[in-house]
């Protein structure tokens, strides 16, 4: 009798604990393929990319408060109609390959082969597209952003282990800032806070075989992506806060704490059509999925907060030339407890250096250094039309030099720069 009671008790405990112990195949915490899907959402800033990722205390631009909420204080009126930013990764490798020619000649078999040859072992990005609208009035800011990101992960040297992950993120950000005068016209403190509502969805990874089929047309992309590929979607409500201490001679010391409460609550769906039915209440198209054994799951993606600090110098030397120098150190809390060479290495890897010179109020020339990699860029303002470009290199490996990937970004916008 005691044996039966023990067995029944164990079964009952297992039934209760099993859901708690369930691990989703799409959870970035347990599946390395999706690790990049756990990264906090950050819209692409071409200006920051061209300055080596620095610019925590750089004010006066439409997206300044998205980098540091304290930049909202006394920011005035700015409005951008939907600006579009396109970032292509590995542009040098693409230009050296026959990919573009193969596409132009409609040789999709060759295009697929050349496309797969671009990738190497580890993580990477393929293409990112951002669309955003930003409004600031006085010390209040509002931003609406949408980003499409195509990521990659290759487990080995062979392209047969390649996985492509398509991700779409939407975000609405509201922020408020204010200024405290300490010494009139000399020293002041800017404080700011932003709250962001983020909704993110990413597809189940597409392997190289399916990627080839989609490129050469042997598989219908709308059928595959609408009905036959699971999608993982969910939301986060992160909060960020920042402080600027403004000194004479154009010096600003900045500190920003980002991504508090940034964990994502995720749910798996059989397809984007199924997601549309569950979330929006209507189908996108005819449901042709044949997987009757799919089980929806819920899990949480942990996204840690970080603390950044920076020093910005904007000397006032007249209206014809406006130089900006910026030094930022990102995620400084991760350096806690490090000593000696480890501390020096971490400081070097997490320091961003950037410079910008504005000429005649119409042209920005920019440059920067991040992790030893140089970046360059420019911005051109023609009345209400603005163009920004940046060429930069980012490290995707565990250490500097393991896997640098170059990126070319172009941004087009109207009204405020």
Residue 324 main-chain phi, psi, to 5 deg? -135, 130
**Residue 19, pLDDT score:** 43
Q: Return the percentage of the chain with pLDDT > 70, whole number.
A: 91
Identify the H or E element spanning 409: strand 404-414
Cβ atoms within 10 Å, residue 42: 15
At 392, the pLDDT band (50, 70, 90 cuts) reads very high
Does residue 22 register a pLDDT over 90?
no
Domain, as residue range, for 44: 2-414
Mean pLDDT of 121-132: 96
Residues 190-232: pLDDT tens digits? Answer: 999 999 999 999 999 998 888 887 776 666 676 777 778 899 9
**Residue 11, pLDDT score:** 41
Between residues 3 and 308, which one has the greater pLDDT? 308
Domain count for the chain: 1
What does pLDDT average to over the chain? 89
Does residue 9 register a pLDDT over 80?
no
**Cα-based distances in Å from 284 to 136, 153, 276, 326:** 35, 29, 6, 47
Does residue 124 register a pLDDT over 60?
yes
Between residues 194 and 109, which one has the greater pLDDT? 194
At 286, the pLDDT band (50, 70, 90 cuts) reads low
Q: Return the percentage of the chain with pLDDT > 90, whole number.
A: 66
At 289, the pLDDT band (50, 70, 90 cuts) reads low
Domain at 176, CATH number:
2.40.160.40
Does residue 3 register a pLDDT over 80?
no
Strand, helix or coil at 388? strand
Does residue 6 register a pLDDT over 80?
no
At 129, the pLDDT band (50, 70, 90 cuts) reads very high
At 81, the pLDDT band (50, 70, 90 cuts) reads confident
Mean pLDDT of 136-159: 94
- Which two structure tokens, joined as six digits, stand for 167? 């991700």
Does residue 288 register a pLDDT over 70?
no
Mean pLDDT of 221-250: 90
DSSP string, 9-25: HHHHHHHHHHHHH---T
Mean pLDDT of 49-78: 94
- Determine the Cα–Cα distance for residues 12 and 15; give it in Å rounded to an integer: 5
**Residue 23, pLDDT score:** 60
Residue 200 main-chain phi, psi, to 5 deg? -130, 140
- Determine the Cα–Cα distance for residues 324 and 397; give it in Å rounded to an integer: 30
Weakest mean pLDDT among 42-56, 300-314, 336-350: 336-350
Contact 167, 232 (CB under 8 A): no
Q: Which of 200, 128, 124, 129 is nearest to 162 (CA)?
A: 124
Weakest mean pLDDT among 103-117, 229-243, 303-317: 103-117
Between residues 113 and 193, which one has the greater pLDDT? 193
Residues 364-391: pLDDT tens digits? Answer: 999 999 999 999 999 999 988 999 999 9
Contact 410, 45 (CB under 8 A): no
**Residue 4, pLDDT score:** 47
Does residue 5 register a pLDDT over 80?
no
- Determine the Cα–Cα distance for residues 15 and 10; give it in Å rounded to an integer: 9
At 2, the pLDDT band (50, 70, 90 cuts) reads very low
């Amino acid at each position: 009798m005691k044996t039966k009671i023990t067995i029944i008790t164990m079964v009952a405990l297992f039934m209760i604990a099993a859901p708690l112990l369930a691990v989703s195949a799409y959870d970035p915490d347990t599946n390395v393929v999706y690790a990049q899907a756990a990264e906090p959402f950050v819209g692409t800033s071409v200006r920051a990319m061209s300055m080596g990722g620095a610019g925590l205390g750089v004010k006066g631009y439409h997206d300044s408060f998205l980098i540091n909420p304290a930049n909202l204080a006394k920011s005035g009126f700015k409005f951008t109609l939907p600006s579009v930013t396109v970032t292509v990764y590995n542009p040098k490798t693409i230009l050296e390959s026959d990919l573009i020619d193969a596409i132009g000649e409609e040789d999709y078999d060759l295009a697929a082969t050349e496309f797969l040859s671009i990738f190497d072992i580890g993580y990477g990005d393929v293409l990112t597209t951002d669309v955003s609208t930003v409004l600031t009035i006085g010390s209040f800011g509002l931003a609406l952003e949408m980003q499409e990101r195509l990521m990659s992960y290759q487990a080995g040297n062979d392209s047969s282990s390649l996985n492509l992950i398509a991700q779409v993120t939407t975000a609405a950000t509201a922020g408020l800032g204010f200024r405290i005068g300490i010494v009139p016209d000399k020293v002041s403190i800017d404080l700011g806070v932003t709250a962001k509502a983020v909704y993110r969805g990413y597809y189940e990874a597409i392997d190289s075989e399916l990627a080839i089929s989609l490129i050469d047309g042997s598989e219908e992309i709308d059928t595959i992506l609408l009905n036959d590929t699971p999608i993982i979607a969910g939301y986060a409500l992160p909060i960020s806060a920042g402080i600027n201490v403004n000194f004479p001679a154009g010096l600003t010391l900045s500190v920003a704490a980002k991504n508090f409460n940034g964990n994502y609550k995720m749910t798996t769906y059989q397809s984007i059509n199924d997601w549309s039915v569950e979330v929006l209440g209507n189908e996108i198209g005819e449901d042709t999925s044949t997987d009757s054994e799919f089980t929806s799951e819920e899990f949480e993606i942990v996204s840690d907060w970080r603390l950044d600090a920076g020093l910005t110098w904007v000397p006032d030397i007249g209206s014809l030339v406006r130089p900006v120098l910026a030094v930022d150190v990102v995620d400084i809390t991760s350096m806690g407890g490090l000593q000696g060479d480890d501390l020096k290495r971490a400081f070097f890897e997490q320091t961003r250096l950037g410079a910008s010179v504005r000429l005649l109020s119409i042209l920005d020339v920019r440059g920067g250094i991040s992790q030893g990699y140089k970046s360059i860029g420019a911005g051109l303002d023609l009345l209400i039309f603005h163009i920004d470009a940046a060429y930069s290199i980012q490290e995707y490996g565990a250490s500097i030099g393991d896997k640098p990937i170059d990126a070319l970004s172009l941004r087009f916008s109207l009204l405020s720069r």
